[in-house]
Chain A
């Protein structure tokens, strides 16, 4: 639409500006810093031009024109603050206020309400309408969004969000004229992983944050920038807190990552940190009971346990959450490294560990998140993409909406909100990936190493569908996504090899979704300390008998090996858990419980799947008898009499690690020998987006949604 060659000139309030043909007037005024009031216009949504608030005077036009729907033209002279413009804006405001209730003192939007702000600027003191105001029925939109539809000014931003962003049309405009209202007609809850964004879009108090309802006035809140810890995208958020307690979370606009959107779990997940089962006091098992003790005592006991395990740490197992800050991960890995502990892992959902070398290929993506928008051909392998990474799924939707073809190969159907090209759902889906690879090789006539050629002979001939996918991927701007479904599959290594080779053959980009929020951070230590002997994997660790098992930030529910892990906790002689939460298993089996902070209460950095290193801040000042997670780990080092790195040294290592991943551009080029693979029995694990970490599991609003209740 826009053509950079033909610049045109538009005069706004007496100042000449360069503009691009096809640009809407409001985009230009926003760029040049001239404020034009608006309700229905939103830069990420289509243009509706139905609130009429943005009327401006354009010379040689009979009437005031809506800036949001008026394309600029050369020589256009616009007045945004002239008498005719003001009159038009004030009249619009008078109409909007006819039916708007004057309940600002009890409205949560008060203080951050676009209507309230503009009413101050453009509204009249009194109303000429003394007829009765309209009242409207409220729909129940579920546990996340509260409705006060009487406050609605019919801007239809929420309706357009549903159609254009969420890809579902559940809300609509029912009725006409004065009696029109936003409704679902037959009452339906809005079940979308991004549904909370309609709270931010609503310019008035009609759609509000339900859990936050009636808790604070917005001007009492302090704001901290942070990152969401619930998936590997690294969504930017703003934490709003009062008295060191998080009251709500809103998006932080970052065009490179999440734009203005955040997923519902980024917005409502924090509720879990105020759960009643938080671990508050350190505890030691004395005889069969857990007694409350001081932190120092619990730490001393842990250190004694480690010391009493002789033979170079061989009998110690360490299980770590992939959601920790990189600094914590680094210290933990380094601690184990120095003590010769080889049994440490954070891969809670990987089932197939048959390839020993896979730690050198860290799952990540080799393009930026914002590049996904312009991809033309995408193949999604083994993923419930909308649940695994809602923001990434939204970017895929954007590319699909602009005409790119999206293909899917998976073991089960999952719901998508965009047009799908080839959709292969098959129990033997791994074979289908092989057939696509075969089709691609036939197509490109690439020479292959013998072991691959031999392997391909064992695969069925590709069908028309497989060929169609191969043809599509061999075009420019293509992308292969490997989801968590594939990662958790018992044939992960083969899937991954197929995908990597397919990516090399077709020269596509590659995106591997990693589990947790900071799996890449967790792998940094292993990367830059290449001399490290081969460490054991999660599956091996929980099948061994340990003198001492240390669990850091994880619960049995976090892993697909739940039953095996519980067995392992029972059989170990000593169990030390560092945990923000108490659960029945810890109560029964732990010998030492040391409370740690959650992500929201800590500080540090995380690396997202595009290798972007972002830091976050904690929400509270700590009292003298409290310890940060880093301080706890440092005291372990001290107790063991070993040297720890300082935080700034760790940061240097992190930088080095990221560079190492970034320059290792090579891909897996070998197919694992299937005959050597020991297949674990295939288990059906349904990915539940509100059950992926210990905080989300305890967030009451999320657990009351359809998705939350489905795991009960």
Chain B
């Protein structure tokens, strides 16, 4: 089962494992899942979660619990690049709804879906990302892009789609 994990992933998992006392491997689940999700280009499968449970020696259900709880983990196939648009109060007041609408139209998908070429994943729901000073904002592949408008969004998305 461990062969599902790449050496880099295992190294990353060991790093997290070493941070906690023996018998507290449960604490390494979040870090491990990040590594595994990265390895699998953006989403987790049951097999990968089982592999994490096996590697950390924790019950499988504990890994499922964490993976399904946090919005940063995807348990269904998702596109390679992840876009999350903040729609919380500050961003909403500054027009995030219109921006989200625009992205949906541009990509031809609804929130929570990925483009058919598997490149872009528009995340279902994003809570406040703590960048209200730069509202409206979005996060693309873990990078904050603040003070966005339609033009800026277009540029970012065009760049992503043109990448291989």
A-side residues, CB < 8 A to B, are 168-176, 180, 184-186
Contact = CB atoms under 8 A, between A and B. Distances in A.
B64 interface: yes
A174 B46 contact: no
Interface string B47-60: 00000000000011
Contact of A169 (B61, B68, B70): B61
Nearest to A186: B46
Interface in B48-88: 59-62, 64-65, 68-70
Contacts of B69: 173, 175-176, 180
Contacts of B64: 172, 174, 185
A452 B84 CA distance: 78
B59 A174 contact: no
A176 B65 CA distance: 9
Q: Is the interface of A mostly helix, strand, loop or mixed?
A: loop
B61 A171 contact: yes
A549 to B, nearest CB: 52
A185 B53 CA distance: 14
A172 B68 CA distance: 11
Contacts of B61: 169-172, 184-185
A174 B69 CA distance: 7
A504 B46 CA distance: 53
Nearest to A172: B61
Contacts of A184: 61
Contact of B68 (A170, A176, A186): A176
B62 A172 contact: yes
Interface string B10-41: 00000000000000000000000000000000
B46 A172 contact: no
A638 to B, nearest CB: 62
Contacts of B68: 174-176, 185
Nearest to A163: B59
A695 B82 CA distance: 60
Given A185-B60, A185-B64, 14 more contacts: A169-B62, A170-B59, A170-B61, A172-B65, A173-B65, A173-B69, A174-B68, A175-B69, A176-B69, A176-B70, A180-B69, A185-B46, A185-B68, A186-B46
A172 B60 CA distance: 10
A103 B79 CA distance: 42
A226 to B, nearest CB: 36
A478 to B, nearest CB: 25
Nearest to B64: A185
Contacts of A169: 59, 61-62
A169 B61 CA distance: 7
Most buried by B among A170, A172, A184, A186: A172
* CB-based closest 3 A-B pairs: A172-B61, A169-B59, A185-B64
A171 B65 CA distance: 10
B49 to A, nearest CB: 9
Nearest to A174: B68
B27 to A, nearest CB: 16
A425 to B, nearest CB: 21
A59 B87 CA distance: 40
28 contacts: A168-B59, A169-B59, A169-B61, A169-B62, A170-B59, A171-B61, A172-B61, A172-B62, A172-B64, A172-B65, A173-B65, A173-B69, A174-B64, A174-B65, A174-B68, A175-B68, A175-B69, A176-B68, A176-B69, A176-B70, A180-B69, A185-B46, A185-B60, A185-B61, A185-B64, A185-B68, A186-B46, A186-B60
Nearest to A171: B61
Most buried by A among B60, B61, B69, B70: B61
A550 B59 CA distance: 52
Contacts of B65: 172-174
B134 to A, nearest CB: 27
Contacts of B62: 169, 172
A170 B60 CA distance: 8
Contacts of B46: 185-186
Nearest to A168: B59
A184 B65 CA distance: 10
A173 B63 CA distance: 11
A175 B64 CA distance: 9
A75 to B, nearest CB: 36
Most buried by A among B60, B62, B68: B68
A168 B60 CA distance: 11
A317 B65 CA distance: 61
